[in-house]
Amino acid sequence: MEGLPARADIDVRCRRATRRRCEIESSIGFTMSLFIGALAFGGGHLLPISKVSILAASLLSGLAGWLLLRIIGNVSHRSMAPNIAD
């Protein structure tokens, strides 16, 4: 089967594509949150508060997602490691 990519290459490309889709969808959601906040609060004194709140929530959710992926990644790597004690 010459000419076919290795399974590892396919897995890496799929993970990259999935990550890019998530990044794009997150940026669209972030932009829509700012847009809806601007529509809801207009030019009032609550608009800056809503923008800071949206930014803080975005940063916190990004941190939570990163931590979750780190934990899941560590667990999956440990479960795939060979058992030397056997």
Q: What pLDDT score does 34 carry?
A: 92
In order of 11, 39, 40, 55, 67, the CA distances from 74 in angstroms are: 18, 43, 42, 29, 11
Q: Residue 67: inside a domain, yes or no? A: yes
What residues make up the domain containing 15? 7-80
Q: Residue 40: inside a domain, yes or no? A: yes
Q: What is the mean pLDDT of each run of 10 residues along the chain (86 residues)?
A: 57 73 84 92 91 93 84 63 53
Query: CB under 8 Å to 76, separation ≥6 — which residues?
Result: none
Q: What pLDDT score does 19 carry?
A: 78
Q: Residue 35: inside a domain, yes or no? A: yes
Q: Residue 11: inside a domain, yes or no? A: yes
Q: Residue 1: inside a domain, yes or no? A: no
Query: CB under 8 Å to 47, separation ≥6 — which residues?
Result: 37, 38, 41
Residue with tokens 């060979």, as numbered in its chain = 82
- Total tally of structural domains belonging to the chain: 1
| Consecutive H or E run containing 14 | helix 7-41
Q: What pLDDT score does 80 carry?
A: 54
Q: Residue 2: inside a domain, yes or no? A: no
Taking a C-beta distance cutoff of 8 angstroms, is the pair 21, 7 a contact? no
pTM: 0.63
Structure tokens at 25: 């969808």
